[in-house]
């Protein structure tokens, strides 16, 4: 099925500048532009997810550095971290997922990643998150 679409002369001229003469149709040029947009949008989403994970990781580390011995209970830690990551949160991040608010579940995922990297201790007591000693002692002097 074909659809008739009206476009401005300026838009048509722009399409002509990216068309391959005697090869492209309006449809192929528009499809190429849409494909490029989709690819660009995926890259932006991936970059946003990377920036978000990095912001979450940094928020956890910075909040724990301010605590005695680099450790704190999860409840008070989350309250302080929420202020730092609020710009990265969307409406859906406040919805519940398996009994937990999504942004809090994301922080648990960040903790697991930081434990694997050796930045946080896995064997800290229940509901206590703790930085590895090398991180706490190394950062404490340089960030203050």
Query: Does 33 map to a domain?
Result: no
Q: In the prediction, which pLDDT does 73 show?
A: 92
Q: In the prediction, which pLDDT does 78 show?
A: 93
Query: Does 4 map to a domain?
Result: no
Query: Does 106 map to a domain?
Result: yes
The helices-and-strands tally (H runs, E runs) of the chain is 5, 4
Q: Which residue has the higher pLDDT, 115 or 143?
A: 115
Residue 140, H or E segment: helix 133-143
Is pLDDT of 103 > 80? Answer: yes
DSSP conformational letter for 122: S
Q: Which domain holds residue 98?
A: 49-143
Query: Does 64 map to a domain?
Result: yes
Phi, psi (degrees; rounded to nearest 5) at 14: -65, -40
- Domain containing residue 112: CATH number: 1.10.10
Rounded CA separation 42/57 (Å): 22
Query: Does 61 map to a domain?
Result: yes
Confidence bin at 64 (pLDDT 50/70/90): very high
C-alpha distance from residue 98 to each of 7, 86, 95 (Å): 47, 21, 10
Query: Does 60 map to a domain?
Result: yes
Please indicate, yes or no, whether the overall pTM of this predicted structure exceeds 0.95.
no
* 22, two tokens: 């005697």
């Amino acid at each position: 099925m074909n659809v008739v679409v009206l476009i401005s002369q300026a838009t048509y001229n722009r399409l002509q500048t990216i068309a391959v003469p005697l090869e492209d149709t309006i449809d192929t040029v528009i499809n190429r532009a849409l494909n490029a947009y989709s690819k660009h949008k995926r890259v932006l989403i991936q970059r946003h997810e990377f920036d978000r994970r990095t912001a979450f990781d940094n928020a956890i580390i910075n909040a724990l550095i301010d605590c005695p011995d680099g450790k704190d209970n999860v409840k008070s830690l989350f309250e302080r971290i929420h202020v730092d990551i609020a710009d990265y949160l969307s409406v859906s991040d406040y919805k519940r997922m398996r009994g937990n608010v999504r942004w809090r579940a994301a922080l648990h995922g960040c903790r697991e990643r930081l434990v694997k990297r050796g930045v946080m201790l896995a064997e800290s007591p229940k509901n206590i998150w703790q930085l590895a000693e090398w991180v706490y002692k190394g950062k404490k002097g340089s960030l203050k």
